[in-house]
Amino acid sequence: MARYLRDKQIRNITIDASALRQIFQAFAVNGSRMPEYLASDPENRDGALAVTIRFDEKGYRTFDLESLLRYFNDAKDVERVIFEVFTGDSLRTNRQTGSYADLRLDRSDNVSCFLTVSSDDESWMQGTFAAIDDAIYQHKNRNVGSVGFRRVHRLNMPPDCGGAA
């Protein structure tokens, strides 16, 4: 396992297109600074950023912001969004070595909502964690223990999952 790890449960946030954009940018910028990515051959970079979005009982994995926003805006009911940035090492070893960052946001399962960043490079781990946490913090709400997804209009969600009481 990588030497350094920080994690945090995520609660009390509402995610809209602006939040997705900010979080994606935090992952993209810090992913391009991963130690293994920078050390790899520029012609064959070893790292990836992927986002999984589950909505309307379907799931899609995308690697670019435009597709993510298109899926988000087309969705009637967003259930989950997972951001991941990882190196080939972390992927090949099931995250036992290499650097990675993972943000899981699930509207119906608050226990599954967390941010995890791990690396052998403490500086990258701390900086990446802080940047992503800051992007999330800007979208805090007052609904205790909830993660909600919001498009132009409020989605119909139970009060304990981010909906209006």
As beta bridge partners, residue 148 has 14
**Quick check: is 9 in a domain?**
yes
- Give the model confidence (pLDDT) of 106-165 as tens digits: 988 888 899 999 998 899 999 999 999 999 999 888 765 566 676 543 334 444 444 443
Domain count, the chain: 1
Distance set, CA 148 to CA 7, 43, 54, 69, 125 (Å): 20, 40, 13, 16, 27
Does any domain span residue 141? Answer: yes
Q: Is residue 57 part of a domain?
A: yes
- Say what the pTM is: 0.82
* Domain-located, residue 29: yes
- Considering the domain boundaries, does residue 163 fall inside one? no
The answer to whether residue 44 is domain-embedded is yes
CB 87 within 8 A of CB 34: yes
Domain assignment present for 159: no
